[in-house]
């Protein structure tokens, strides 16, 4: 088949639709008070109905529902008449006939899902046809075409993911009991979330918890990426599936650094100098062979839009069931819908990352830069929540906000408290929605650009 015939493939075919189901849903909405409560959270757009007459009727019902008014033959008739659509849909006679097509709203949720499926099919056909037409148009920039393609599913997903979800309180109480039972019976070293890579932090948090947005903030060069890479390696060793959005480093750089963290090799050996002795290759091959089983998924596209990050996270979760998502780092992401105001843009990015954490029920760990205010302060250099760069919304959206503070970075002596912990770095929990505010000691080995748990450093437990 020639390419020029592709755009005519669907001509003569009836678009996907279910008129009888549309009638059943509208009938249930007319006769049963429970119908609108169950349906309106699912049916967000009048276009979900295929038949134009049904779109007008549902639009009237939607306006009544949003205004807090009852939905019946009389109120819908009045609303349609006011809009000049009553005669168009067949008058009151049609509304009476429609009301007689259902006995109750018992199956309305199931019927709504059928309508949504048919609507999605129609939307995909419409979008595909539009893309085909654009692809044949030489005046359309190819990058605009790619952008249109990448956003094809966004409007569909927004409607599918914004339906109301009722939470039954008795069921949630049972879940509380089950969680307390699990916590009571777990062993001392067990964690309830995804491992952080550090024993003391795991003991403090129970691991990173599902649906939490965790912000790790620090000044440039403090070791933010090194810290999460230690976390990522630990997840790989424990068999967790990990998604990584790297807006700063290439996938090759990230991979080399994970090898350095999971071995005794210096980063310069892996990225710049190579080995002095060929015998080191045996150790390298052993390390690499072990790490090939890691379920790490990396996207190193520079300056990704938040919509693309959301789409990528959903794709990873659907295909690979990722347990945790890392974003390095927030200030390098964009939101084209808010591009005229940088503070609103960052606020939208952090808010959407929190939504992704809740939607996929996974922890999202996002790195953030701190402002220069830290350096400008005399004496005390420990970061504060007010130092988070460009947006206070990050603090509001986050469940946990942590700061990295290395005294040696500023040429200061390490405190006795840290030295006694066999550490030289503070990981400061400045906000913890479900816990206390504490500081944990870590050790940063600068020549290997890696963080270690003080216990790990004592044991020298390397591959």
Query: Does 376 participate in catalysis according to the annotation?
Result: no
418: Cα separation from own chain's centroid: 35
d(CA 65, CA 71): 7
C-alpha distances in angstroms, 138 versus 1, 4, 5, 135, 146? 22, 14, 18, 7, 14
Q: With b meaning 16 or more CB within 10 Å and e meaning fewer, what string describes 430-453?
A: bbbeeeeeeebbbbbeeebbbbbb
Q: Cα dihedral sign for 258, 261, 263, 266?
A: positive
C-alpha distances in angstroms, 430 versus 33, 354, 382, 427? 48, 18, 11, 9
d(CA 116, CA 16): 11
Task: Kindly give, in sequence order, each residue whose CB lies less than 8 Å from that of residue 296, ignoring residues fewer than 6 positions away.
Answer: 232, 236, 242, 244, 258
In the block, tokens 């067990």 appear at 190
C-alpha distances in angstroms, 45 versus 55, 205, 299? 9, 42, 33
Question: Sheet holding 400-405: strands in order across?
Answer: 295-299, 241-246, 324-328, 364-369, 213-218, 400-405, 425-432, 439-445, 450-452
In the block, tokens 């390095």 appear at 328
* Catalytic, out of 38, 166, 248, 456: 248
The pair phi, psi for residue 225, each rounded to 5°, is: -65, -40
Count of all residues that appear for the chain in the document? 463
Q: Which residues are catalytic?
A: 248
């Amino acid at each position: 088949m020639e390419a020029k015939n592709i755009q005519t493939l669907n001509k003569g075919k009836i678009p996907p639709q279910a008129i009888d189901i549309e009638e059943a849903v509208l009938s249930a909405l007319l006769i049963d008070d429970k119908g609108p409560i169950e349906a309106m959270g699912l049916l967000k757009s009048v276009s979900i109905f295929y038949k134009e007459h049904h779109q007008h009727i549902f639009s009237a019902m939607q306006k009544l529902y949003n205004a807090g008014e009852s939905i019946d033959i009389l109120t819908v008739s009045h609303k349609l008449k006011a809009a000049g659509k009553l005669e168009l849909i067949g008058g009151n006679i049609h509304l009476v006939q429609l009301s007689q097509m259902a006995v109750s709203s018992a199956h309305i949720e199931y019927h709504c899902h059928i309508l949504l499926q048919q609507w999605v099919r129609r939307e995909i056909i419409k979008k595909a046809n539009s893309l085909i037409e654009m692809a044949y148009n030489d005046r359309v920039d190819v990058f605009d075409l790619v952008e249109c393609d990448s956003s094809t599913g966004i409007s569909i997903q927004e409607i599918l993911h914004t339906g109301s979800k009722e939470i039954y309180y008795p069921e949630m109480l049972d879940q509380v009991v089950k969680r307390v039972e699990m916590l009571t019976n777990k062993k001392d070293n067990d964690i309830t979330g995804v491992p952080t890579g550090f024993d003391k932090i795991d003991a403090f948090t129970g691991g990173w918890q599902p649906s939490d947005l965790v912000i790790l903030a620090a000044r440039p060069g403090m070791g933010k990426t090194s810290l999460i890479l230690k976390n990522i390696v630990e997840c790989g060793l424990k068999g967790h599936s990990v998604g990584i959005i790297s807006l700063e480093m290439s996938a090759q750089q990230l991979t080399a650094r994970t090898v350095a963290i999971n071995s005794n090799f210096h980063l310069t050996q892996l990225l710049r100098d190579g080995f002095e002795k060929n015998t080191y290759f045996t150790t390298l091959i052993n390390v690499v062979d072990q790490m090939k089983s890691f379920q790490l998924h990396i996207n190193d596209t520079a300056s990704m839009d938040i919509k693309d990050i959301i789409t990528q996270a959903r794709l990873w979760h659907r295909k690979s069931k990722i347990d945790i998502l890392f974003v390095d780092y927030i200030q390098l992401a964009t939101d084209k819908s808010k591009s005229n105001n940088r503070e609103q843009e960052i606020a939208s990015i952090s808010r959407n990352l929190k939504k992704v954490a809740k939607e996929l029920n996974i922890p999202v760990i996002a790195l953030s830069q701190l402002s220069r205010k830290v350096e400008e302060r005399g004496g005390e250099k420990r970061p504060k929540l007010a130092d988070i760069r460009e947006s206070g919304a990050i603090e509001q959206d986050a469940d946990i906000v942590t700061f990295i503070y290395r005294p040696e970075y500023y040429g200061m002596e390490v405190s006795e408290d840290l030295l006694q912990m066999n550490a030289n770095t503070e990981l400061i929990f400045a906000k913890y929605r479900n816990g206390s505010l504490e500081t944990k000691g870590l050790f940063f080995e600068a020549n290997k650009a890696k963080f270690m748990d003080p216990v790990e450093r004592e044991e020298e437990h390397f591959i």
